[in-house]
Amino acid sequence: MPDCLFCKVAAGQIPAAVVKRGDGMLAFKDINPQAPTHLLVIPTIHVASLNEARDASVLGAMLTFARDLAQEQGIAQRGYRVVLNTNPDGGQTVLHLHLHLLGGRPMTWPPG
Ligand code: 5GP
Ligand code: ZN
């Protein structure tokens, strides 16, 4: 998708602090971190949001990728949060499907 920010990150056209790549997924540091560990996991193919996701294997791959990443980042044991914002009320600002992986501090509930 030509004008999509995260498609450009996936293509290497916009610089990002990439931490893991594989299985059609890419993880990179959020530019505005909300926790000591704040990574974004995206499919390298363009999917606008969870509403548009038709391939369950992509969704499964995102979750297992995030879980493995949490282990590798050393936050799995203490715990972490995975967030998937969808559309305006969900707080989605970039219309390319992505998970937030947050950890390194205790999380609060309910979210804002
Ligand atoms: P959303 O609000 O759509 O769930 O999350 C989008 C996230 O992308 C935000 O946390 C924001 O800080 C991050 N973000 C926006 N633009 C960029 C960018 O150019 N590079 C990186 N690494 N993160 C970005
Ligand atoms: Zn995209």
pLDDT of 1 above 90: no
Give me the DSSP letters along the chain. Answer: -TT-HHHHHHTTSS---EEEEETTEEEEE-SS-SSSEEEEEEESS---SGGG---HHHHHHHHHHHHHHHHHTT-TTT-EEEE---HHHHT--SSS--EEEEESS---SS--
Is residue 41 very low, low, confident or very high in pLDDT (cuts 50, 70, 90)?
very high
Residue 48 near ligand 1, beta carbon < 6 Å: no
Q: Is 96 a catalytic residue?
A: no
pLDDT score, position 8: 98
* pTM metric for this prediction: 0.98
Residue 84 near ligand 1, beta carbon < 6 Å: no
pLDDT of 4 above 90: yes
Residue 77 near ligand 1, beta carbon < 6 Å: no
Catalytic residue among 38, 46, 96, 98: 98
Domains of the chain: 5-103 (3.30.428.10)
